Structure 1
Amino acid sequence: MKKHLINFTALSMVFLLFSCATKNTEPTELPEGTITEKLNFIKNPKNFNSESERLNLLFEAYTDYQIEASPMMATFSGKPGYDHLWDDFSEEGLEKDLSVLKIFDESKDWFQPDELTEEDKINLNIFSRSIGNDYSLFSQFPVQYFMIDQIQGIHSIIPAVIQMMPTNSPEAIDNLTSRLEGISALLTDVEKVLSKGIDKGIVMPKNTVLLVPDQLKQMYSKNPEESVFYMPFANLKEDTNIEGQQTIHEIVSHIIGTSINPALKRFTTFMEEEYLPNTRESYGLKALPNGEAWYQEYIKYFTTTDMTAKEIHDLGLSEVARIRLEMEKIILQLNFDGDLNDFNDFLREDPQFYYNTPEELLAAYRDICKRIDPVLPQLFGKLPRLTYGVKRVPAYSEKATTTAYYQSGSLKTGIPGYFFANTYNLKSRPKWEMEALSIHEAVPGHHLQIAIAQELENVPEFRTMLSFTAFVEGWGLYSESLGPALGMYKDPYAKYGQLTYEMWRAIRLVVDTGIHVFDWSRQDAIDYFKTNSGKSENDITVEIDRYIAWPGQALAYKIGELKIKELRKRSETTLKDRFDIRAFHDVVLGSGSIPLDVLEDNIDHWINEQMAIENNTVNK
């Protein structure tokens, strides 16, 4: 699942409410006014009968703030009311948002812990960690200048938002057309921010944005009906939402032809003539002012730990060595004549491991997912209601996009989750990686975890919208290890594929820190990856460029996975025969996305509960 831009847009701008604050005699309701005025009301304990009441109003205000500040995030989360708006990416909007985030960060010290329930304390802890992570990063470092890249930059998020919006009512159609009309202004704001980054010398490495102009060019079309922005309207009836004498198709075609296409062309020209010539040749964050401290903050942000770059680098080297031994065992099992590098070359080059058409590849992914679905109840007591599907990565982004990703849906808006598989360059999409990849991106990986989190009940609403990368991606990688229990990896090549994916995440610990702290070149990272992995050279190059573009994000996978495995082993060792894998997984997923230390507390609490039940049974 890709978190880089969503993490950024969660920090987008605050839209002001309309009226001024008035003293509200009903403390259980937020007063009218700006978000700042609401927070000032909450800050005063005299306005409330209890700390719990005040805390719940803070959470309500924060939920409202998230949705108002990021209409794009609201759409992804299925929150109605803002589908006609875009996030405010202007410099002024960013500054306003940061000032509000500062108050939210300070709010963790407003409450008397002794007057809160245990549940309140847990919610406050999670809230404080989420806000604190955001404020610590965004207040110290100019992350906004990194919003453009060829992997999943703002330009590719725009059509993704449009394509996941509902079209099932006149209001939904109006929202869509309003958003289409707003794309031009949105791109203008993005251009201004990136231009300021150029002035400050804080720009992306050249290799991470080289493909952006070509991606933009694929988004506009001389025939509006062939545009990616026309797709949501293609199947609507001609008389839908008639305005005057125009059908909705005519209205949308006009917007695309007279507003969106010119805006995309202007932005393309900016990227080609202004941004690209001013990009940097260096790769690591260390090359920028205060870069090492910036990278350390990214480590904390993405892993929810205080590990250092050196500790992570060394952990990666250790994991690479361990997994390499496991891979060599399979090579011996297959009686292959050659070493690990020879075997990896064989896997990359032999045509038996590749499909010939995109349709065959997508059909195989769908088959894998539908073979997994019936087995899930054996490992999970609670499953989500939201369904999911398998789609092809859009053509405009496939060349620079990794092998696959997950895009969340929404039960409220009737949008399913989607596992997007990349069909570009089929000779880089081997069959032996498909089972592990399906498990990670669909079930029981991202779809299961994210959909369950969205459907949480009896928790503050903000808890259903959180996304701690170490938890989300750690769960995805841990899920890959469940393959045998799901009936997968019966073929030794598929098992080797799972080890290749685990190796891939271990390599990340080495090369990400190597690039951003230890002065590795791009070629150093590619060579290390190629030596230790069976992945194709195309995949490896795309991955390395991703690590360069998103410092620290790739560290979260292995750190999170190792923590979940550690907690499972602790549970199995302590509970022995009483260990229930379904109950364990339900506890892991049952609180939504949380920091790793909170997850550890939850598991320890569950273990203690199970031990208490056993002791009571023995004593009776």
Structure 2
Amino acid sequence: MNKTLLALTVSLLLAAQGCSEATTVSSAPETTAESSAAVMPQSASEQYLAMVDNFFNDQLKLEPIYATFVGVNDYNDQFGGALTEEYLKARHDLNSHYFSQAKTIDVDKLPASLKLSYDMFIYDRNMELIGETYPEYFLPINQFYSTVFTMVQLGSGESAQPFKTVEDYQNWLGRLRGFINWTKLAQQRMDEGIASKVVLPRVLVERIIPQLDAQLVTDAQSSFFYSPINLLPESFTAEQKAQLTKEYSQLIDSELLPALTQLRDYVKNVYLPSSRASDGWWGLPNGKDWYQHLANSHTTTTLSVDEIHQIGLSEVARILSEMDKVREQVGFKGDLTAFFASLSSEPQYFFTDRQDLIDGYMAIKDHINQVLSQYFNVMPKADYIVKPVESFREKSAAGASYESPAVDGSRPGVFYINTYNLKAQPKWGMTTLSLHEAAPGHHFQIAIKQELTDVPQFQRFQGYTAFEEGWALYAEYLGIEMGVFNDPYQYFGKLSDEMLRAMRLVVDTGLHAKGWSREQAIQYMKDNSPMAESDIVAEVERYMAIPGQALSYKVGQLTILRLRADAEKALGDKFDLKGFHDQLLTSGSLPMAVMENKIADWIKAELAK
């Protein structure tokens, strides 16, 4: 699983792994692989299912925080080894061994559903092995995906890390010790990056420093990492509570806060002066080739960077034309630029109270829920809640995001809204944002995937950004048919969000392959959308930090729309929209080519009825 694929799902947390269990994880793949080979069943289906089950278990050993997020609590005291040489070797051995083993299976003897799964598995192992050739480990932290953020969220008691038993509390102390070790190894890897000229742009380093500053409190009780002590269960004895309080206070005061202070000082005094002036990946050694790989990995296509750039330019022009039609429809007296300015500044388009914004999204949730059954046979069992982004990360977080529900159903999904700058959250953008992040967007796709029972485990929990974000953008399009865009201003919000995804194709490729500066990218987005400047800056800096990820949305959506059009044309009166959605949602997240094959097979089966 590519560590940068899943910003908004369980799999993004793979980027947050640490270093305390290197010896254990390095031996796990070889041991399990040897034992599984000795008892390999005979049928192709049994061989495949046993192999991917072994792979998934080995992956969890290698990535303990990932295991926690998928509901496996066997490794909750471990942090992982993502920055060690032992870990890198273990990851390579894991992928190369299972890639070779998969090639021994007679694919022609697999049923259609497992052929689909097999194609996904082979794709993953191949892309992982290619990705190993680039030194991502020299860039262990950025302002958008941060191990520090992940650990604070886990320690809040409101995320995947359990805090129900004394053992749970001891496990978290063990994981914190691994995190402390990670802060030291991160500095070593960044030193290597400095020597190799693989470093972050200066502006991104400047963003990291205040994020680290926010963790440097004067005493343990004021630390975010002290939060579990404030949640001690009533069932604990007074002695247990006193002992845990003492252990947490000592670890935070004597080890964690000094380690975070040292990391902050390193970033400020050593790394910042060594950061680079270039804003895109082209400024790194072999950067253009690396970026082309990232573009292909995130979009799960073979499109060239130039092709993606041109698609973006074409989509921007089309959407601008649609926006101008809305301007005429509402009778605005002025050109499109003036319309943008009006929508971005006039008070009636914004809330003045943070809670009113959250309440507004709850009302939209209720409205959308009333019509979902008309378009879907399969809907998630898990619900979702609307919640503001936490204060410690709201200044640099995206405008909204989604966190998947607990696999065991104990925690709902979370639709996060950034309430830091209410001027970046216009009322006219709320419907489309809810469709995208919650239902039927990310919440449907990710929650249903986790709830599948007839697919291999790896298929339930991995993710491809092009599919997941493409689906979410398709969900915005579906809102037109669902009748939730009857208000032209809300429809403009849909166009505005679609414009953002189209601009990403232009800006991301411009930054990383065509030598664009940060300022040039910001200006392009200001010229073509009504987005708040603070939102634009955060978006551009996000693209700078995780190149290629933002390409996935539009490429994925366009692929889904093309496949739907192909199905409608081929099936005519036999086309069933609910059935088409079933095909997209009931196999997990798919690479684009694999999804195309599945829809083609479905069309053939429907025609044969």
Pairing of 1:201-600 with structure 2 (within 5 A): 201-237=197-233, 240=236, 246-412=242-408, 414-600=410-596
Q: Show the counterpart of 1:99.
A: 93
The 2-side partners of 1:577 and 1:115 are apart by: 34
Shift of 1:233: 3.9
Tell me, which stretches of 5 or more residues in structure 1 are unaligned?
20-32, 614-620
Q: How big is each residue's C-alpha offset from its partner over 1:455-475, in whole Å with a ceiling of 9 and x where there is no partner?
A: 111111111011011001101
2: CA distance, partners of 1:382 / 1:412 = 19
Q: Aligned partners of 2:120 and 2:16: how far apart in 1?
A: 20
- Match in the other structure for 2:30: 36
C-alpha distance in structure 1 between counterparts of 2:433 and 2:285, whole Å:
37
User: Is 483-492 or 361-370 further displaced after alignment?
Assistant: 483-492
Question: Could you tell me the TM-score, scaled by structure 2's length?
Answer: 0.93
Return 243-252 or 274-283, whichever deviates more: 243-252
CA distance in 2, matches of 1:77, 1:59: 16
* Aligned equivalents of 1:177, 1:195: Cα separation in 2: 28
Question: Cα gap change, 1:233/1:481 in structure 2, threshold over 3 Å: closer, same or farther?
Answer: farther
CA deviation after TM superposition for structure 1 residue 349, in Å: 1.0
1:263/1:294 CA distance change after superposition, 3 Å: same
Q: Indicate if the aligned counterparts of 1:133 and 1:301 stay in contact, CA closer than 8 A.
A: yes
Q: Quote how far apart the aligned CAs of 1:179 are.
A: 2.3
In the other structure, the counterpart of 1:126 is: 120
Q: Over aligned residue pairs, what C-alpha RMSD do you find? A: 2.4
Structure 1: distance between partners of 2:204 and 2:246: 37
* Counterpart contact for 1:166–1:413, Cα < 8 Å: no
The 1:412–1:611 alpha-carbon spacing in structure 2 relative to 1, beyond 3 Å, is same
Deviation track 1:13-57 (CA, whole Å, cap 9, x = no partner) reads: 9866699xxxxxxxxxxxxx732133245567x954333333222
Distance in 1 between the 2:517 and 2:241 partners? 60
Q: Does structure 1 conserve the Cα–Cα contact (< 8 Å) formed by 2:33 and 2:54?
A: yes
> Cα deviations across residues 420-468 of structure 1 (Å, max 9, x unaligned)?
1111122222111111111111111111111111111111111101101
Q: Find the aligned partners of 2:576 and 2:452 in 1 and give their Cα distance.
A: 22
Per-residue Cα deviation, 1:344-378 (whole angstroms, up to 9, x for no partner): 11111111111112111112122212322232212
Does the 8 Å CA contact 1:470/1:596 hold for their aligned counterparts? yes
Shift of 1:10: 8.1
Q: Is the 8 A contact 1:390 1:421 kept in 2?
A: yes
Relative distance call for 1:15 and 1:386 in structure 2 (3 A) is farther
Q: What one-letter code is carried by the residue in structure 2 that aligns with 1:296?
A: Q
Secondary structure of 2:414 counterpart: strand
CA distance in 2, matches of 1:118, 1:17: 37
Q: Which residue of 1 aligns with 2:192?
A: 196
Shift of 1:505: 0.3
SS of 2:242's partner is: coil
- Relative distance call for 1:59 and 1:14 in structure 2 (3 A) is farther
Question: SS at the partner of 1:482?
Answer: helix
Secondary structure class of the residue paired with 1:367: helix
Q: Is the 8 A contact 1:241 1:248 kept in 2?
A: no
Shift of 1:585: 1.0
The one-letter amino acid of 2:369's match is D
3-state secondary structure, aligned to 1:209: helix
2:74 is equivalent to residue 110 of structure 1: no
CA–CA distance in 1 between the matches of 2:331 and 2:506? 30
Contact 2:399 2:535 in 1 (8 A): yes
Residues 19 and 178 in structure 2, CA contact (< 8 A), matched pair in contact too = no
Distance 1:608 1:15 in 2: 49
Cα distance, 1:546 vs structure 2:
0.8
Distance 2:269 2:19 in 1: 27
User: Take 1:506 and 1:104, find their aligned partners in 2: how far apart are those partners?
Assistant: 37
Query: For 1:161 and 1:190, how far apart are their aligned partners in 2?
Result: 20
Moved more, 284-293 or 95-104: 95-104
For 1:157, the aligned partner's letter is T
Which residue number corresponds to residue 46 of structure 2? 53
Q: Kindly indicate whether the alpha-carbon contact (under 8 Å) linking 1:72 and 1:161 is maintained by their aligned counterparts in 2.
A: no
Deviates more, 1:294-303 or 1:170-179: 170-179
* CA distance in 2 between partners of 1:13 and 1:315 (Å): 45
Cα gap change, 1:462 to 1:237, in 2 (>3 Å): closer
How far does residue 573 in structure 1 lie from its aligned partner after superposition? 2.1
Residue 503 of structure 1 and its aligned partner are, at CA, apart by 0.5
Between 1:232-241 and 1:374-383, the stretch displaced more is 232-241
Give the Å deviation of 1:253.
Answer: 3.2
Whether the 8 Å CA contact 1:42–1:54 is kept in 2: the answer is no
Which region of structure 1 is more displaced relative to structure 2, 112-121 or 72-81? Answer: 112-121
Report the Cα distance in structure 1 between the residues aligned to 2:406 and 2:12, rounded to whole angstroms. Answer: 19
Q: Structure 2: how far apart are the matches of 1:593 and 1:12?
A: 29
CA distance in 1, matches of 2:173, 2:370: 40
Distance 1:18 1:243 in 2: 35
In structure 1, C-alpha distance between the alignment counterparts of 2:339 and 2:241, rounded to whole Å:
65
Q: Indicate conservation of the 8 Å contact 1:77/1:409, yes or no.
A: no
1:616 corresponds to: none
Deviation at 1:142, TM superposition (A): 0.6
Q: What stretches of structure 2 of length at least 5 have no aligned partner?
A: 1-5
Q: Distance in 2 between matches of 1:577 and 1:489?
A: 26
1:153 and 2:116 aligned: no
Name the % identity.
35
Give per-residue Cα distances to partners, 1:548-567, cap 9 Å, x unaligned.
11111100000000011111
Q: CA deviation at 1:544?
A: 0.7
Q: Could you tell me which amino acid in structure 2 is paired with residue 135 of structure 1?
A: L
Provide the residue aligned with 1:24 in structure 2.
none
Aligned partner of 1:172 in structure 2 is 168
2:3 matched residue in structure 1:
none
Determine the structure 2 residue equivalent to 1:83. 76
Aligned-pair distance for 1:312?
A: 0.4
Q: Which residue number corresponds to residue 70 of structure 1?
A: 63
Q: For residues 498 and 542 of structure 1, what CA distance do their matches in structure 2 show? A: 20
Matched, 1:6 2:13: yes
Q: Give the Cα–Cα distance (whole angstroms) in 2 for the partners of residues 18 and 573 of structure 1.
A: 51
SS of residue in 1 equivalent to 2:370: helix
Once the two structures are TM-superposed, the CA of residue 283 in structure 1 deviates from its matched residue by: 1.0
Which residue identity is paired with 1:537?
Answer: E
Cα distance in structure 2, aligned partners of 1:452 and 1:5 = 18
Letter in 2 for 1:471: F
1:289–1:15 distance in 2 versus 1, CA, 3 Å? closer
Cα drift, residue 484 of structure 1: 3.2
> Structure 1 residue 174: deviation in Å?
2.9
For 2:459, the aligned partner's letter is: R
Distance 1:481 1:353, change over 3 A: same
- Say whether the 8 Å CA contact 2:44–2:110 is kept in structure 1: yes
Q: For structure 1, which segment, 473-482 or 167-176, has the greater mean C-alpha deviation from structure 2 after superposition?
A: 167-176
Assess, with a 3 A threshold, how the Cα gap between structure 1 residues 13 and 68 changes in structure 2: closer, same or farther: farther
Q: Between Structure 1 and Structure 2, how many residues are aligned?
A: 598
Distance 1:297 1:13, change over 3 A: farther
